[in-house]
């Protein structure tokens, strides 16, 4: 008992620095944003309290709802694109084959590269004049498929989604690889003895065994999708004409470009609320099935 008492203090003091930093850079700013969201403030002139004016203006702004829609597209590409693709890559690489380590590294590489680089790389790939994609399409005679990938509002969100999948599916691959390696060998062997193989084994044995991990990956993917900013800001800046604007870009433009910090804070409060709602729903759905 005596020793435990001592460690409690030790644990507390050990946690203290991290706790202070976390409070300082996460919790306090969220509180401040909530406070600013009821103000009209350009950062220079004195603040004035305006109640819910910022929120009513946001809800009336069609550009905000467009950015919400784009966020939903990003969310769906995350959940329906990155996770299945990450799982597929993990299944492919989770075997003893030549160069598995090499391919794992390659798969994980996009996660390590900064978003700025990813945006610039894809900006070049999508370039209409000399971009890789249009050149390839042209050289195999598919000229009619060539598009203005980022500049045409029909294609811009799609093009960004592809870059977003490419950037993050390696992250989920690594998570799934770790989970796959934790499946006990006895289970796999028993399944094989019973005649399960290939797709059958994956669907009935592997996926149920890593269900928990998949759920966590989905939550990760959703919270990531609400945070996506740099990729879009650099590739298109939310343009053309707001077509690729997500909520974070909308917030940035209002707060930092238009100098409406109160309004921007209100948007960020809404981002927080939206992501909490979606994550809670997913958690509920995950639990019910279990």
Partner 1 sequence: MKTTKNMKKTLLIGSVALLTLVTAACGNSNNANKGSADGEKVTLNMMHPWTSPNVDNEVYKARIAAFEKLHPEITIKQDGVAAAQYKTKLRTLAAANNLSDINVVWPGADLEPLVAGNLLMPIDSEMANWSSILSTEALAGFNQGGKQYAIPTKQTFVDIIYYNKEMFAKVGYDTFPETYDQFIDAIKKLKDSGITPISLGNKEQWPLQSSYLSAIQERFVGSDFLAKVMNKEAKFTDPEYVKALGVIEELSKLKAFNTDANNMDSVQGQDYFIQGKAAMHISSSTVDSRIRITNEEGNKFGIALFPSVTGGLGDAKKSSGVAQYGIAISSDLDEKQKAAALEFMKFFVNEDLYKELISKGVVVPAKVDVPADASEYLKEMIALTSNGTSPVFDSIIPTQVTSVMQNGLQAITVGRMTPEQLAKDVQAALDGMK
Site of interaction with partner 1 (CB under 8 A) = 40, 42-45, 48, 50, 123, 126-129, 148, 150-153, 236-237, 239-243, 253, 256-261
In angstroms, give the least distance from the CB of 258 to partner 1.
4
Q: Where are the beta strands (DSSP E) in the chain?
A: 39-40, 48-49
In angstroms, give the least distance from the CB of 259 to partner 1.
6
Q: Rank residues 153 and 223 by Cβ distance to partner 1 and give the closer one.
A: 153
User: In whole angstroms, how far apart are CA 13 and each of 7, 8, 27, 186?
Assistant: 10, 9, 20, 44
Please give the full DSSP string across 205-269, using - where no structure is assigned. Answer: IIHHHTHHHHHHHHHHHHHHHHH--HHHHHHTTT-STTTT--HHHHHHIIIIIS--HHHHHHHHH
DSSP 40: E
Q: Rank residues 120 and 187 by Cβ distance to partner 1 and give the closer one.
A: 120
Q: Which two tokens stand for residue 61?
A: 């702004």
- Asked whether 194 and 109 are in contact (CB, 8 A), the reply is no
In angstroms, give the least distance from the CB of 189 to partner 1.
27
Give CA–CA dist 145/268, Å, rounded: 39
In angstroms, give the least distance from the CB of 138 to partner 1.
14
Q: Rank residues 58 and 214 by Cβ distance to partner 1 and give the closer one.
A: 58
In angstroms, give the least distance from the CB of 43 to partner 1.
2
Q: Rank residues 143 and 192 by Cβ distance to partner 1 and give the closer one.
A: 143
Q: Rank residues 64 and 261 by Cβ distance to partner 1 and give the closer one.
A: 261
Q: Rank residues 39 and 83 by Cβ distance to partner 1 and give the closer one.
A: 39
Which 3 state secondary structure label does DSSP give 48? strand
Residue-wise over 257-280: b if at least 16 C-beta within 10 A, else e? eeebbbbbbbbbbbbeebbeebbe
Is the alpha carbon torsion for 40, 271, 73, 62 positive or negative?
negative
Q: Rank residues 104 and 260 by Cβ distance to partner 1 and give the closer one.
A: 260
In angstroms, give the least distance from the CB of 128 to partner 1.
4
In angstroms, give the least distance from the CB of 162 to partner 1.
16
Q: Rank residues 150 and 205 by Cβ distance to partner 1 and give the closer one.
A: 150
Q: For residue 48, is it left (φ>0), alpha (ψ between -120 and 50) or beta? A: beta
**Closest C-alpha among 205, 216, 209, 187 to residue 287:** 216
């Amino acid at each position: 008992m005596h020793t435990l008492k001592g460690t409690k203090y030790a644990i507390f003091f050990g946690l203290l620095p991290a706790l202070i930093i976390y409070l300082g850079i996460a919790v306090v700013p969220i509180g401040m944003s909530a406070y600013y969201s009821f103000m009209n403030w350009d950062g220079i002139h004195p603040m004035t309290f305006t109640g819910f004016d910022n929120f009513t203006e946001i809800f009336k702004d069609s550009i905000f709802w467009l950015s919400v829609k784009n966020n939903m597209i990003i969310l769906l590409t995350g959940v329906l694109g990155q996770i299945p693709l990450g799982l597929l890559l993990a299944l492919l690489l989770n075997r003893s084959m030549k160069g598995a380590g090499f391919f794992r590294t390659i798969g994980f590489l996009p996660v390590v590269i900064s978003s700025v680089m990813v945006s610039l790389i894809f900006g070049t790939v999508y370039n209409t004049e000399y971009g890789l994609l249009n050149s390839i399409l042209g050289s195999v005679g598919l000229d009619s498929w060539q598009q203005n990938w980022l500049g045409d509002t029909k294609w811009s969100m799609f093009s960004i989604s592809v870059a977003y999948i490419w950037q993050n599916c390696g992250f989920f691959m690594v998570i799934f690889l770790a989970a796959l390696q934790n499946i006990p060998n006895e289970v796999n062997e028993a399944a094989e003895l019973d005649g399960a193989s290939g797709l059958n084994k994956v669907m009935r044995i592997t996926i149920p065994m890593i269900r928990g991990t998949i759920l966590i990956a989905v939550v990760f993917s959703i919270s990531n999708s609400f945070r996506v900013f740099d990729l879009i800001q650099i590739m298109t800046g939310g343009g053309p004409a707001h077509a690729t604007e997500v909520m974070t870009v909308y917030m940035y433009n209002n707060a930092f470009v238009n100098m409406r910090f109160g309004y921007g804070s209100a948007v960020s409060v809404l981002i927080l609320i939206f992501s909490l709602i979606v994550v809670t729903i997913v958690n509920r759905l995950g639990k019910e099935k279990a």
